Chains A and B, each alone.
Chain A
Amino acid sequence: MNLLEVKNLKTYFYSDAGVNKAVDDISFEIPKGKTVCIVGESGSGKSITSLSIMGLIDAPGKIEGGEIVFEGTDLLKLSEREMRKVRGRDISMIFQEPMTSLNPSYTVGYQIDEALKLHQKQLNKKQRFEKVVESLELVGILDAKEKYREYPFKLSGGQRQRVMVAIAMACEPKLLIADEPTTALDVTIQAQVLELMNQLQKKKGTSILFITHDLGVVSKVADEVIVMYKGHIVEKASARELFTDPRHPYTQALLHSIPTPGVTKRKEKLATVDDSVDYLSFPKEIR
Chain B
Amino acid sequence: MRDFIKQYQKNKAAVVGFIIVLILVIMAIFAPFIASHLPAAQNLPDRLIPPMWEEGGVSSHILGTDDFGRDLFSRIIYGARISLMVGAVSVGLSLSFGLVMGLMAAYFGGKVDLFIMRIVDIMLAIPAILLAIVVVSILGPSLVNAMIAIGVVGIPTYARVVRASVLAEREKEYVIASRINGSSNMRLMFKVILPNAATPIIVQSTMGFASAVLEAAGLSFLGLGAQPPMPEWGAMLTDSLQFIMTAPWMIFYPGLAIFFTVLGFNLMGDGLMDVLDPKLKDK
Task: Please report A residues at the B interface, Cβ cutoff 8 Å.
Answer: 54, 56, 59, 84-89, 92-97, 100-106, 114-115, 118-119, 151, 153, 164, 167
0/1 per residue, B246-283, Cβ < 8 Å to A? 00000000000000000000000000000000001011
B118 to chain A, nearest CB (A): 20
A70 to chain B, nearest CB (A): 15
Q: Is B183 an interface residue (CB 8 A)?
A: yes
B1 to chain A, nearest CB (A): 12
Residues of B within 8 A of A88 (CB): 180-182
A270 to chain B, nearest CB (A): 31
Q: Are A164 and B182 within 8 A (Cβ)?
A: no
Instruction: Give Cα A119–Cα B176 distance, bound, in whole angstroms.
Output: 17
Instruction: Give Cα A92–Cα B282 distance, bound, in whole angstroms.
Output: 28
Q: A59-B110, A103-B196, A104-B280 are in contact. Are A92 and B176 (CB under 8 A)?
A: no
Partner of B181, one of A87, A95, A153: A87
Residue of A nearest to B197 (CB): A105
Q: Is B54 an interface residue (CB 8 A)?
A: no
Task: Please report B residues at the A interface, Cβ cutoff 8 Å.
Answer: 110, 172-174, 176-184, 192, 195-196, 280, 282-283
Q: A103-B196, A105-B196, A164-B177 are in contact. Are A85 and B182 (CB under 8 A)?
A: yes
Q: A59-B110, A153-B283 are in contact. Are A104 and B181 (CB under 8 A)?
A: no
Residue of A nearest to B183 (CB): A118
8 shortest interchain CB distances as A-B pairs: A153-B283, A88-B181, A88-B182, A105-B195, A87-B182, A103-B174, A100-B173, A101-B173
Residue of B nearest to A99 (CB): B173
Say what secondary structure dominates the interface of chain B.
helix
Instruction: Give Cα A95–Cα B180 distance, bound, in whole angstroms.
Output: 11
Interface pairs (29), CB distance under 8 Å: A56-B176, A56-B179, A56-B180, A84-B183, A84-B184, A86-B182, A87-B179, A87-B180, A87-B182, A88-B182, A93-B180, A95-B173, A95-B177, A97-B173, A100-B172, A100-B173, A101-B174, A102-B174, A102-B177, A103-B192, A103-B195, A104-B280, A105-B195, A105-B196, A114-B178, A114-B181, A164-B177, A167-B177, A167-B181
Instruction: Give Cα A93–Cα B178 distance, bound, in whole angstroms.
Output: 10
Residue of A nearest to B196 (CB): A105
Q: A87-B180, A103-B195, A119-B182 are in contact. List 8 more A-B contacts (CB 8 A).
A: A56-B179, A84-B184, A87-B181, A88-B182, A92-B181, A103-B174, A105-B195, A167-B177
Partner of B178, one of A89, A96, A103: A103
Residues of A within 8 A of B179 (CB): 56, 87
Instruction: Give Cα A106–Cα B195 distance, bound, in whole angstroms.
Output: 9
Residues of B within 8 A of A95 (CB): 173, 176-177
Residues of B within 8 A of A93 (CB): 177, 180
Instruction: Give Cα A284–Cα B231 distance, bound, in whole angstroms.
Output: 84
Q: Are B182 and A100 within 8 A (Cβ)?
A: no
Residues of A within 8 A of B110 (CB): 59
B27 to chain A, nearest CB (A): 34
Instruction: Give Cα A89–Cα B181 distance, bound, in whole angstroms.
Output: 7
Residues of B within 8 A of A151 (CB): 283
* Chain A CB within 10 A, most for which of B110, B182, B283: B182
Partner of B174, one of A56, A92, A96, A104: A104
Q: A59-B110, A95-B176, A104-B283 are in contact. Are A118 and B195 (CB under 8 A)?
A: no
Instruction: Give Cα A92–Cα B173 distance, bound, in whole angstroms.
Output: 14
Q: Are A54 and B180 within 8 A (Cβ)?
A: yes
Residues of A within 8 A of B182 (CB): 84-89, 118-119
Instruction: Give Cα A119–Cα B179 distance, bound, in whole angstroms.
Output: 13
Q: Are A104 and B180 within 8 A (Cβ)?
A: no
Residue of A nearest to B279 (CB): A153
Residues of B within 8 A of A96 (CB): 173
Q: Are A101 and B283 within 8 A (Cβ)?
A: no
Residues of A within 8 A of B196 (CB): 103-105
Residues of B within 8 A of A56 (CB): 176, 179-180
Instruction: Give Cα A118–Cα B182 distance, bound, in whole angstroms.
Output: 7
B62 to chain A, nearest CB (A): 47
B208 to chain A, nearest CB (A): 22
